[in-house]
Structure 1
Amino acid sequence: MKSMFPFPTVNLAKPLGVKFKRGNDGAAYVSITDPRLGNTDPRIKPGDRVVAVSASFGGDVWEARNFGQVIYAIKTRNGEVFLRLESRGGNLDVFENLDETEEQRLWKEDRTVGNYSAGTKEVQLRNYDSKKRAEQERKDLFNMALSRFKAQNVEEVALIDFENVLSMEPPNFLGDDFSRVTNIARVTQYNIACCYAALGQVDSGLEALESALDSGFEDYAKVRSDKNLEKLRTSPRFKTIIDKYDEPFINEAAISAIKNIFSFGRKK
C-alpha cells in the first residue's frame, strides 16, 4: 500500500538533535527533535518513521529494518548521517500500548457504572499473557545476541540485537527493589559497550558503559578487568567514568591533600 505521507530526506552532521524510539511495530521513529541537543532539520517531526539510513561507512544507504539496526548505523557512522523519513503528520500512536489503552477504557466504563465487568478481567488476562510473551521474546533475543557476540566476528549483528533488546524495556517498570530499570537492561547496556569496544568505536562504547553504570550495573571489578573493554580502558575518559561510580581504594586526591598538609611550613 502506497503511503499517503511524503518521504523527506536529510543529511545531518553529528551530534544529532534527534532522538529515536522503538514503535510498537519494532521500527525506529523520531521521538524528540531539539536543536539544543545537536543538528536537526525543521522537516523532521516526532512520530516520523525512519525508512532508510546511511551505512556505517561509505556512501551506501540501508533500508531501515528495525530500531536496533537504525541506532547501530547512526552511532557507528563516520561523517554525516543520511535519513529518509516517512512523515506521519505528528501522529504518535506508534508509541502507545494498545492493550493497555483498551484496558484503561474498559476500567473507566466500569467505574462509571460501579461494576467490574468480565470484559475488563478478560483484557487484563490477555495483557498479562502478552507481557509474558514479550518478556520471553526479549530474553530469547538477548541470549541470541550474547551467543553471536561470543562467536566473534559477528559483533555488528550482536550489537543490533542488543539495541533491540534495550528498546524493549517495559514502560513504567518498577522492580521489587524499587528499581526503575530491569536487570536485563543493565546487562544489555554493558554488552553494548563490549560490542562497540570490539568494533573500535571507543566513544560509543564509553557512552554505553556510562549508561550501564548509571542504570545500576555494579560489577566494577569486571568493568576494570574485562578484556572485552580493553580498548575503552585506553581512553582517559574511562578512568573518569568508572571512578565516578566506584571510588578507587587509593584516593589520589586525598593522598595529595595529606601530603600538602604534612609538607606545610617545611623549608625548601
Structure 2
Amino acid sequence: MDDTSKLTEKEIIRVERNSGIVSGKLREIQMQNYLRKKEQKETQERELREGLQLYKSATYEESLENFESVLGTKSGINEASVASYNVACCYSKLNQIRVGLSALEYAMKAGFEDFKDTYMDAHQL
C-alpha cells in the first residue's frame, strides 16, 4: 500500500510489520504515542502530588477531585491503586464511610498493598 494517509495508525503499523519495512511514518507514530503517554503520566503524577498537598491542608473535596481525575484517565496499576486509596481516605475524612470503604476495596483490587499505612490511617479517624 503506497497511500498510507488514509490508513489508521493501527493499520499502518500492521501493514509495515507484515511487510518488514519500517518507514518514517511508523517512526513518527511511535514517537507521538511515546510523547502522549509520557505527558499523560506526568499529568497523573502532578494530579497525585497536588491531591496530596490538598489532603494535607485538609481540603478533602478538592483533593478528591484530583485523585478522581487520575482515575478518569488511563492510569497504570500503581497510579490507579494509589489514587483509589487516596479517594478512600478523602471520603473517610468527609465522613462518607461506605463510599470510602468501597473505594478502599477498589484500591486493593487495583493492586494497593501498603497495608501498614491503611491500618495506621484507619486508626487516625
TM bucket normalised to smaller: 0.7 to 0.9
What is the aligned partner in structure 1 of residue 52 from structure 2? 146
* CA deviation string 1:17-58 (max 9, x = no partner): xxxxxxxxxxxxxxxxxxxxxxxxxxxxxxxxxxxxxxxxxx
Among 196, 207, 210, which residue is 2:105 paired with? Answer: 210
What is the aligned partner in structure 2 of residue 223 from structure 1? 118
Q: How many residues align?
A: 119
Contact 1:197 1:228 (C-alpha < 8 Å) held by counterparts = no
User: What letter is aligned with 1:210?
Assistant: E
User: What letter is aligned with 2:63?
Assistant: A
What is the aligned partner in structure 2 of residue 168 from structure 1? 73
Contact 1:223 1:229 (C-alpha < 8 Å) held by counterparts = no
User: What letter is aligned with 2:88?
Assistant: A
The answer on 1:155 being equivalent to 2:60 is yes
Identity of aligned residues (%): 34
State which structure, 1 or 2, has the greater radius of gyration over its C-alpha atoms. Answer: 1
2:107 & 2:16 partners in 1: Cα distance? 42
User: What letter is aligned with 1:188?
Assistant: A
1:130 & 1:229 partners in 2: Cα distance? 39
Contact 2:88 2:103 (C-alpha < 8 Å) held by counterparts = yes
Unpaired runs of 5+ residues, structure 1, are 1-100, 171-180, 231-268
Contact 2:48 2:66 (C-alpha < 8 Å) held by counterparts = yes
Unpaired runs of 5+ residues, structure 2, are 1-6
2:112 & 2:41 partners in 1: Cα distance? 20
User: What letter is aligned with 1:220?
Assistant: F
Higher strand share: 1
Q: Provide the TM-score with structure 1 as the length reference.
A: 0.41
User: What letter is aligned with 2:72?
Assistant: S
Q: Higher relative contact order by CA 8 Å / sep ≥ 6: 1 or 2?
A: 2
1:229 is displaced (CA, Å) by 6.2
Q: Provide the TM-score with structure 2 as the length reference.
A: 0.83
* CA deviation string 1:69-128 (max 9, x = no partner): xxxxxxxxxxxxxxxxxxxxxxxxxxxxxxxx9431211332465522110111101110
What's the secondary structure of 2:21's corresponding residue? coil
1:211 to 1:134, Cα distance in 2 relative to 1, 3 A: same
What is the aligned partner in structure 2 of residue 38 from structure 1? none
What is the aligned partner in structure 2 of residue 266 from structure 1? none
What's the secondary structure of 1:197's corresponding residue? helix
2:124 & 2:107 partners in 1: Cα distance? 13
1:150 is displaced (CA, Å) by 0.7
Higher helix share: 2
2:13 & 2:39 partners in 1: Cα distance? 23
1:135 & 1:141 partners in 2: Cα distance? 10
Alignment map for 1:4-153 (pairs within 5 Å): 102-111=8-17, 113-152=19-58
1:131 is displaced (CA, Å) by 0.8
